[in-house]
Structure 1
Amino acid sequence: MTRILVVCLGNICRSPLAHGILESKLPKDSFYVDSAGTAAYHIGNSPDHRSIKVAKTHGVDISGHSARQFRVSDFDTSDYIYAMDASNYNNIISLARNNDDIGKVKLFLEENNSVSDKNVPDPYYGHISDFEYVFDLLEATSKILSAKLKE
């Protein structure tokens, strides 16, 4: 089984969306997708209501997700770790114990060559339109990534 972890700051906006979208595109018998945040702000909380709403509009249910914090043991249990932006990438890398850990970490948008800015914007302080934009960005990249992973 291939294990994928997507990581943002609080694990209530971007990473639950990426988690739900990517999970919907991969066969569950071969892939396990999870998400986490680098900060402890929202541990145990559901995703932001706007993330839930936008995902539901597109047929993805993330309402059962519970936020958790990234931990060093995630390096052991994940084959791929995708950070939503450079800040979270650096936070993850700072916890790496060796080059094998570092080799598992990439920016999520590195998989999408049509996007020049490789940072998924954080919609938390924005409007529903910002969540829609992030969903579309994650959806397009998840299509590319899922095709690559299934090869």
Structure 2
Amino acid sequence: MTSQPRQSVLFVCLGNICRSPLAEGVFRHVLQNRGAAGRFLVDSAGTGGWHAGSPPDPRSVEIAARHGIDLTAQRARRIADGDFARFDLVLAMDRSNRAELKARAGGGRLDRIHLLMDFALGEARDVPDPYYGGADGFETVYRMIRAASEALAEKLAAPWDGPDRGQASSTR
């Protein structure tokens, strides 16, 4: 049996304490449930470094835990220049994050940067930042990220279907 290629996905928000760590955890959970966790490198980062080294916001940890997902080992980090080459997909939580990522990435890596909701579900909308709101905002964000993660896992499974594994094709 040949080993399957790993695809890499980086989720990015502003501070890497609310949305992107939740997206990382939810997507890992979805992949685990599908038996596909070993096929992916999954991480998260922020466009800003204010919270570097900090755990996710307790409200993100709590909403994830209610759905059987553990975020407690994650620590915030700022996106590094090398991430644009390291990750096949860089999925921003909102348009502001996407603009910042595109400005930092330079011309050669722009095709890797997308809005999460647009890439996964074809919905050109932001995942709102729940930081200054209440628990209901985190629940809304969880539901959005969960739907996007399910669709993303389905979408990214296609390159491994069939005998030509390892070669993504634009003709599929």
Q: TM-score range by the shorter chain?
A: over 0.9
Cα distance between partner residues in 2 of 1:7 and 1:16: 8
- Confirm or deny that 1:107 pairs with 2:128: no
Does 2:97 match 1:92?
A: no
State the superposition RMSD in angstroms.
1.0
Q: 2:165 corresponds to which residue? A: none
Distance 1:36 1:138 in 2: 16
4+ long deviations beyond 2 Å: none
Aligned residue runs from structure 1 range 1-151, under 5 A? 1-26=6-31, 27-99=36-108, 101-110=109-118, 111-113=120-122, 115=123, 118-151=125-158
Aligned length: 148
Deviations 1:46-65 (A, max 9, x none): 00000000000011111110
State the TM-score, normalizing by the size of structure 1.
0.95
SS of 2:144's equivalent in the other structure is helix
Q: What TM-score, normalized to structure 2? A: 0.83
CA radius of gyration, larger in: 2
CA contact (8 A) 1:12 1:42 kept: yes
> Counterpart of 2:154 in 1: which secondary structure?
helix
2:139 aligned counterpart, secondary structure: helix
Question: How far apart, CA to CA, are the structure 2 residues paired with 1:32 and 1:24?
Answer: 13
Matched letter for residue 107 of structure 1: L
Conserved? CA contact 1:47–1:67, under 8 Å: yes
Which residue identity lines up with residue 79 of structure 1 in the other structure?
D
Structure 1 unaligned regions, length at least 5: none
CA deviation map 1:64-103 (0-9, x unaligned): 100000111101110000000000001100111323x100
